[in-house]
Every structure is written in C-alpha cells, then in structure tokens.
Amino acid sequence: MTLDSIFGILKNVIDIAIVWVMFYYILKNFKNNVKMSLLIKGVLVIVLVKVISDYVGFTTVGLLLEYVIEWGPLALIIIFQPEIRGALEQLGRSQLLGRHKILTVDEREKLVYEIIQAVDYCRKTRIGALIVLERDISLSDYIDKAKPLYADLSNELLVSIFFPNNPLHDGAVIVQGNRISCAGAVFPTSNNIKLNKRLGTRHRAALGIAEETDAISIVVSEETGRISIAVKGELFYNLSLDDARMMLIDELRPKTVDTELVDVDEEDIYEEDN
C-alpha cells in the first residue's frame, strides 16, 4: 500500500466523518426544536403517501402530490421562515463540546436545593418567578440582551431579584452551571394552541424557550403560586414541590455517566437532608 493510497483512504474517512458530524448536530437541534420536528414529520408523511400512491396506482393523489413535492420546498421556506431561521440561529448557538460546565453531584444537589427554596418562598408569598437553566444549547443571545450578574446562585438572591418592585422582577433569570448569569431576560412566547389561555406571559415564555432550546424553565405563578416546569417543548403545570425537585434532579443528571451510581448518590444525599 503506497503513501498516496493511505492518504486517499484517510481523506475519505475524514470526509465521511465531517458529513456524519454535520448530520448529527442538525438532527440534534431539530429534535430539540418542537416546531421543526413537526415540520419534518409532515414532510415525511407526504413522501410516504406519495410512495404508497405510486405503488397502488392512485393517479389523482399522485398528481397532486407531485405538485406538492415540486413546489413544497419553496412554500415551506415562505411559510415556516421564522422556524427555519430559529433553527439556524439555534444551530449557531449550540456548544459543540456540550454544556459549558458539568456539575458534580454535590453541586447539582446544592443547585436544586437553592432553587427549590426560592421557589417555595415565591409560592407561599405569591411572587412571580421565571428561572431558566441552560443546558447543551447556549442562551448567550438572551444573556447578552439582559442585565449581567455573574453571581453565585442562592435562594436569597433569587428571591430578591423577583421581589415586587425590583426593576428586574418581570424578566427571567438565566442560570449557567451553578451561577446566575443574568436577570431580566426576555424570551419568545409560545404560540402553542393547546396552552391554557388563562396562563400568562411567564408560562408562555417558559414554554417558548423550552420549544426552541433544551433549557429547563421553572415558573411560579404570581396569581396562584402554582409551580410549573417547561422542558423539551412541554409544560408540566401545577407541580408539587417534591415533583418539581425530582424533575430537576432527573433533567440535570448527566446522560453520559453511570446513572445507577448517580441515582444512589443523589438518593443518599436527599435522605440525609430529610
């Protein structure tokens, strides 16, 4: 085997690897974006119906679908322009090396404890709050437009931020790792028609950022004191304090480590606390 042939094989391997990496991150971002996922499913359904119609011999259906497939890409770009732009922006915000900081078990335990303490106080005193935890997809665009803090997270600081008449209480707090990066952040609101119309801007903003990214949004209703969490494009409404805590523990758990070991460590920690 000559040096040129080895170089050619190596070049082909690198070429294929780059393509696979590109597809991986595109599919990963589409998975985290609920709207784009639905769009892709719709396209796949149309293609599947077209294949079935050609096989069975449905002339009229096949002819109509040919027009749809021919002009569909242009129509999709026009109709779903905001979603496509959001997906591209989201791809640009993605951190290729994963979340900016992997928390230890102790750090995650303290993070969840401080957040739950703040949420419990806000729940009892009817203080509205929106806390967003960044994960793999960067929220730097929203952080840049908010009030920078870069402070250690504590329940006292969270409560003081959301306390009525505080200039920053209407926006969201963004947490990176175990630190508060900013306050007063503004997110796009969800247009989900299934969302209860009585839910306010906080809940819609929490779901909106959960639809566009993999962030975790914790909401406390100012009117009812109810706790909700938005994650993976879904809003879990009116959770108990224990349910919210366990959901945070599960969502913050690293997916690349031995989950059984993490489960044992975290259960032991909370048994000691209780």
Same-domain status, 89 and 110? no
pLDDT at 225: 92
Residues 88 and 131 in one domain: no
Which pLDDT band holds residue 85 (cuts at 50, 70, 90)?
Answer: low
Same-domain status, 84 and 150? no
Residues linked to residue 179 through DSSP beta bridges, in sequence order: 152, 176
Looking at the structure, do residues 32 and 166 belong to the same domain, yes or no? Answer: no
CB neighbourhood size of 216 (10 A): 23
Task: State residue 28's pLDDT score.
Answer: 63
Residue 142 near residue 188, CB atoms below 8 Å: no
| Residues 254 and 135 grouped into a single domain | yes
Cα–Cα distance for residue pair 127/115, rounded to 1 Å: 14
From 34-48, 184-198, 210-224, the region with the lowest mean pLDDT: 34-48
For the ranges 27-36, 60-69, 101-110, 130-139, the lowest mean pLDDT is seen at 27-36
Are residue 89 and residue 122 in the same domain, yes or no?
no
Q: How far apart are the first and last CA of the chain?
A: 67
Mark whether 268 and 211 lie in a shared domain: yes
123 with 7, same domain: the answer is no
Sheet architecture: strand order including 216-220: 147-152, 179-185, 172-176, 129-133, 216-220, 227-231, 234-239
The better pLDDT of the pair 237, 262 is held by: 237
User: What share of the chain has pLDDT > 90, as a percent?
Assistant: 36
Residues 150 and 18 in one domain: no
100 lies in some domain: no
Is residue 99 domain-resident?
no
- The number of angstroms, rounded, from the C-alpha of 155 to the middle of its chain's C-alpha atoms is 23
pLDDT bin (cut points 50, 70, 90) of residue 35 is: low
pLDDT in tens, 236-256: 999 999 999 999 999 988 765
Tally the domains of the chain: 2
Average pLDDT over residues 189-201: 82
Q: Is residue 98 part of a domain?
A: no
Q: In CATH, what number is assigned to the domain containing residue 238?
A: 3.40.1700.10
pLDDT band per the 50, 70, 90 thresholds, residue 40: confident
State whether 185 and 233 are in the same domain: yes
pLDDT for 272 equals 40
pLDDT of 111 strictly over 90? yes
| Shared domain check, 196 and 80 | no
CA-CA distance, 109 to 83, in Å (whole number)? 36
| pLDDT confidence tier of residue 257, bands split at 50, 70 and 90 | very low
In a domain, 175, yes or no: yes
Domain that holds residue 50: 3-93
Over residues 28-52, mean pLDDT: 72
Q: For residue 162, is pLDDT > 50?
A: yes
Of 60, 93, 126, which residue sits at a domain end? 93
